Amino acid sequence: MKKNFFIIFSIFLLSSCGYESYSECHKSEMQKNNGVDHSSLRTYCRDLFPRKKLDLITFRENLDYKVSYKDESSWVTVENLTRDKFIHEIRSYGFVAENCNDKTKNPIVNLEKTNVVKRVNIGPGKSVEELLKDRGDNCLYILVKGMKDNY
């Protein structure tokens, strides 16, 4: 009985010494490192406290969101048209074509810079202006994702 009590007490003692959150872990580990932040500290704490994976749904253009382009600039306005969903991610795929809407020709896509991901938080009825096009790209495919409740 004493042996079981000692084992249970030891487990309780060890488990109560851990961090309760990523922030607490990061702060404490930074203090141990003389106040210097380092990517290995953030990685260690992120391993202890991984981010929640979001189950995002794909929004439909002109139904769930609207995209407005500013002439020939790289700035794009994305407007959330829904009443109860939040946009959390904008993926853009830039390419070069004579006519951006011509589906009969294959666009010239630079695979090294095709997928730009922007993390955003656009509430219902709100909009945001983002820099999505790279220099040299005159066309853009956009994929918008989000979820019903704000995370």
Where do the domains of the chain lie?
A: 2-48, 57-147
Tens-of-pLDDT digits for all 151 residues of the chain?
A: 566 555 555 554 444 458 888 888 888 888 988 888 888 888 888 888 887 766 788 999 999 999 988 766 778 899 999 999 999 989 888 777 777 777 676 666 655 555 678 888 999 999 999 887 776 777 888 889 998 765 4
Torsions phi, psi for 18 (to 5 deg): -80, 175
Pair 113, 134: CB distance under 8 Å: yes
What pLDDT, on a 0 to 100 scale, did the predictor assign at position 14?
A: 46
Question: Tell me, what DSSP letter sits at residue 76?
Answer: E
What pLDDT, on a 0 to 100 scale, did the predictor assign at position 16?
A: 45
What pLDDT, on a 0 to 100 scale, did the predictor assign at position 111?
A: 55
Beta-carbon contacts of 9 under 8 Å, excluding residues fewer than 6 positions away, are none
Which pair of structure tokens corresponds to residue 120? Answer: 């955003």
What pLDDT, on a 0 to 100 scale, did the predictor assign at position 122?
A: 93
Name the 3-class secondary structure at 113: coil
Q: List, as own/partner pairs, every contact residues 124-128 make where C-beta atoms lie below 8 angstroms and the sequence separation is at least 24, other chains included.
A: 124/80, 124/82, 124/83, 124/84, 124/85, 124/86, 125/80, 125/81, 125/83, 126/79, 126/80, 127/77, 127/78, 127/79, 127/80, 128/77, 128/78
Domain at 57-147, CATH from 2.40.160, 2.60.40, 3.40.1000, 2.30.29: 2.60.40
| Residue closest to 82 by CA, chosen among 98, 68, 61, 97 | 61
What pLDDT, on a 0 to 100 scale, did the predictor assign at position 43?
A: 84
